[in-house]
Structure 1
C-alpha cells in the first residue's frame, strides 16, 4: 500500500507541475520517477484521484486535479522527489488579527485542516484555497505567539 500511496502522491505532483495531455506522457513521467506501471493501473489511479482534462490557454487539453480547472503550475519545475521532500508551507504574513499563509499549490487545505484540528487557542479558524490560507487570530495574540503555536503543526514555519 505504501508504494501505491507514493505513486499517487508522485502522480499528483507530476500533474500539478507539468502540462501533460496523454497517458503515454504520464507513464513516461512516472517511469522517470521510478514507477513502472501499466496503462490500466494508471487509468485506475487517475480515476481514484478524480483527475480530469481541461483546456489550456493555447487550446490543448491537459490533465488537472479535481476542482482546479485553471490549476496554478510552477514556472520552474523541480524533480518530483525534490518537491515531495519540501513541505507545502511557503510564508506567513499578518495584518491586525488576520494572517495569510502561502503554500505550494494543493497544500493549503491539508495544512488548514491540521491547524483547525489541533485546537490552537491563538487561532479562531481558517479558510483555505488552493495555495492560500486565511487565518483569524484571537484578539490580543501577537504574531510571534501565532508562529510559535503553529510550529508543531506547520513544518518549517520558523
Structure 2
C-alpha cells in the first residue's frame, strides 16, 4: 500500500470510529490488513494533523484538526480548539510562556508555533499535554502571548 493510501485509510478510520488510543487505531488498521509500528502511526498522525478532541461521551478521542466545514479563519484550528490555557507574564520569566493543551496535541501545536513564530522563538519544549515556549526576548514573548490569546479567544 502506498503512503498516500495509508494516510487516507487512517483518516477514514478516525472519522468513522471513536478511537481513544494509538493502540486502538493500530487494531483497526490490522483489521484492514495493514500492520504498522507505533512509531509509524505516530508520524502518520502528526502528518495528517490528527489531534485529541472531546467526544460526546466524555473521553478524548482522535479527530482531524480541520474538518470539511473549515472556516476562513487564519487561525490554525488545532490551536483554537486544543490550547486550554496560556500563562501570564511572570516576573523573572518574561521570555517564557507555558501552554496547557488537550493531551496528545502538543507535537502538532509545537509545529504550528515554530512555523508561525520561528523568528521569535529560541526553543519549544513539549510533553503530552503542555508546552514551554522560550522566546528570544521578553518583547517576542509578549507578541507570541498576545497572538495566541487572540487565537484562543476566536474559538467557536
When normalised by structure 2's length, the TM-score is 0.51
Q: Tell me the distance in 2 between the aligned counterparts of 1:83 and 1:139.
A: 31
Task: Find the counterpart in structure 2 of residue 103 from structure 1.
Answer: 101
SS, match of residue 110 in structure 2? helix
SS of the residue corresponding to residue 59 of structure 2 reads coil
Secondary structure of the equivalent of 1:109?
helix
Higher-Rg structure is 1
Instruction: Give runs of aligned pairs for residues 119-134 of structure 1, distance below 5 A.
Output: 119-134=117-132
Looking at structure 2, the residues matched to 117 and 81 of structure 1 have their Cα atoms a distance apart, in angstroms, of: 22
Which digits, 9 at most, give the CA deviation of each residue in 1:34-91, with x for residues without a partner? xxx882x1x52x6265489xxxxxxxxxxxx79xxxxxxx893267669986722211
| Superposition deviation, residue 133 in structure 1 | 0.6
TM-score by length of 1: 0.50
How many aligned positions are there?
A: 120
Matched, 1:89 2:94: no
Residue 139, structure 1, aligned to residue 137, structure 2: yes
Alignment of 1:60-75 (within 5 A): none
- For 1:4 and 1:136, locate their aligned partners in 2 and report how far apart those are by CA, in whole Å: 37
Question: CA–CA distance in 2 between the matches of 1:51 and 1:112?
Answer: 19
* Pair 1:147–1:8, CA change in 2 (3 A): farther
Which protein has the bigger helix share?
Answer: 2
Q: Alignment RMSD, CA only?
A: 4.5
Q: Which residue of 1 aligns with 2:9?
A: 4
Counterpart of 2:115 in structure 1 is: 117
CA–CA separation in structure 2 for the residues paired with 1:118 and 1:138: 14
Shift of 1:107: 0.8
Offset of residue 110 of structure 1: 1.4
Taking a change above 3 Å as real, the CA distance of residues 146 and 81 of structure 1, as seen in their structure-2 partners, is closer
Unpaired runs of 5+ in structure 1?
28-36, 53-64, 67-73
Preserved contact between residue 20 and residue 59 of structure 2 (Cα < 8 Å): no
Stretches (4+) displaced over 3 A: 8-13, 48-52, 78-86, 119-122, 148-152
